[in-house]
Amino acid sequence: MEFHTFSNEIVFFDLETNVPNKTGQHFHILEFGAIIVCPRTLEEVESFTTLIQPKDLSVASLRSSRSDGITRDKVADAPSFEDVAEKIYGLLNGRIWAGHNIRRFDCVRIKEAFAEIGKAAPEPSGIIDSLGLLSDKFGKRAGNMKMASLAAYFGLGVQKHRSLDDVRMNLEVLKHCATVLFLESTLPNQLEGKLGKLESSSKIMTRSRSSYQTAQRAMPYSKGSLVKMTHNVKDLLSKAQGNQALQSLIKHSHSLLR
């Protein structure tokens, strides 16, 4: 495979795999999804997703508890990993890799898959693992820091556990976290930790592998308070700074948080 470098481009990617339930059983990639984003604007410029047929179809579940989940029937006619390896290589090689928990999971599975077909694996120019990054910078405000919990914290909907949907959700979560952290760093004495302060608690639906269950989870804001919160922050910054650049930032953060 020819080597190209795109060292300043960011590719968010996600894998969906089987869940090994027997000793010695391996992970098999069932779906790959990726988006390339502009590092300056963080806008999506290219996307790709494909289901992948495993060599052993029995590793894919016959049924899924999710309405559009991945089943054996769905991957039966999908291309093999070898069929799409060149496309995946071209998307990943030489770019900055980004994703949630990719260091421990997705990066390992990609290398395994390329090794299995006897081809060189793509190499990143850098790695952004949002799980480690947000655990360090954002703390445990959203609970267990799983993508589903972070998405619920910011009101971004339910994680679908489909590759392309999940990488787009990952990008939105990062944008929201970055906005909150930037605002807090602007006036640390007044805002640090307050934008993430829990104001109410409500019941939301969480998803387990086998069934739905209702869990009591702390939510970041009371109903309808997101817009009110950003207006309050805007007023605070206006009084404290009177800085036009900050006003532009608040308008942007308002559009993200509403």
In a domain? residue 146: yes
Distance CA 195, CA 226 (A): 10
In a domain? residue 233: no
Q: Which of 28, 100, 161, 176 is catalytic?
A: 161
Q: Of 254, 198, 201, which is closest to residue 229 (Cα–Cα)?
A: 254
Express each pLDDT in 170-188 by its tens digit. 999 999 999 999 888 888 7
Is a pLDDT exceeding 50 seen at residue 103? yes
In a domain? residue 64: yes
Q: Which token pair is 47?
A: 């996307």
In a domain? residue 29: yes
In a domain? residue 112: yes
In a domain? residue 84: yes
In a domain? residue 171: yes
Number of domains in the chain: 1
CATH of residue 154: 3.30.420.10
In a domain? residue 131: yes
Q: What is the pLDDT of residue 191?
A: 66
In 10 A of CB 171, how many CB atoms?
20
Which residues does 250 contact at the CB level (< 8 Å), separation at least 6? 183, 230, 233, 234, 237
Q: Which domain holds residue 71?
A: 10-187
Confidence band, pLDDT 50/70/90 cuts, at residue 24: confident
231 is catalytic: no
Express each pLDDT in 39-56 by its tens digit. 999 999 999 999 999 999
Express each pLDDT in 192-203 by its tens digit. 665 654 333 343
Express each pLDDT in 224-257 by its tens digit. 444 444 455 455 445 444 445 445 554 555 555 4
Mean pLDDT confidence for 109-132: 96
Q: What is the pLDDT of residue 149?
A: 94
Is a pLDDT exceeding 80 seen at residue 121? yes
